[in-house]
Amino acid sequence: MEQLFTVLLWSLLGIAALVAIMLRFVTAPYGRFSRNGWGPLISSTVGWVVMESPAVLTITLMYLFSDRLNNVTVVVCLLIWQTHYMYRTYVFPFKRKGNNRKMPVSVVAMAMFFNVWNGFLNGAWLFFVGPVRDISWLYSIPFIVGTAIFFVGMFINRQSDNILIRLRAPGESGYKIPYGGLFRFVSMPAYFGELVEWCGFAILTWSPAGAAFAVFTAANLIPRAISNHKWYKNTFPEYPAERKAVIPFLL
């Protein structure tokens, strides 16, 4: 298990570098960037549930097959992971307006592959190869600080999603300029919130798997945030000039 963990960990970091480079030239074909040429299409709601479910299921199965079932610290870390993914997988897709749009099956397949990989890595660290941490870890500085960061990021992420959802009246499908929350500072605060979340998770678990996930999240979301930012500026002449793409005051 340790050797497999190491290979998959470094491979994920290598893929993160490739993804960051690729997304500078090719924008992932979903959402406002949907386009033909990426294979068969399915409902974006169905696709979202299918592609995110492995993040919920993979790490749960690994926990159930581990010998750390009664370790309180492990259970708490698992529950923190699931607070993000249960909502993201089984609640958020059904809250969106205009969720009758389509997305390529190829995008769903790539996301599923990543979520299995990432779920395995984080599950392997928590339940098999990482140190066995007793309940005292829940009072440690890394856990307290990381957990606080994680839930701040989750608040930003969900608040931003809700602002976008409320932008459209029933039956509307177009785009508008969002205001409120961290939209005051950046075009994609939901992405910023997710970056903050997974940096927090890396700290609270104090794990290389969590760190690799945070790096991959940045490699994936920052280029897409920049693309969205450029789209807003090109689409709306009155778009607020002071906004950055994803990180307030910086990027």
Q: Which two tokens stand for residue 138?
A: 């829940």
What is the structure's pLDDT at 39?
A: 77
What is the structure's pLDDT at 42?
A: 86
What is the structure's pLDDT at 30?
A: 57
Average pLDDT along the chain? 91
pLDDT higher at 210 or 95: 210
Tens digits of residue pLDDT in 11-65: 999 999 998 888 877 666 655 555 566 678 888 899 999 999 999 999 999 999 9
**Does residue 102 surpass a pLDDT of 90?**
no
| 100, 34 Cβ separation under 8 angstroms | no
Cα–Cα distance measured from residue 212 to residue 214, given in angstroms and rounded to the nearest whole number = 5
What is the structure's pLDDT at 32?
A: 59
Give me the residues paired with residue 244 across strands.
186
When mean pLDDT is compared over 153-167, 193-207, 233-247, the highest value belongs to 193-207
Quick one: pLDDT band at residue 100, thresholds 50, 70, 90?
low
Other C-beta atoms closer than 10 Å to the C-beta of 233 total 15
Quick one: pLDDT band at residue 7, thresholds 50, 70, 90?
very high
What is the structure's pLDDT at 165?
A: 86
Beta-strand (E) ranges in 66-128?
A: 102-104
Quick one: pLDDT band at residue 69, thresholds 50, 70, 90?
very high
Tens digits of residue pLDDT in 128-171: 999 999 999 999 999 999 999 999 999 999 999 999 888 877 66
pTM for this prediction: 0.91
pLDDT higher at 210 or 251: 210
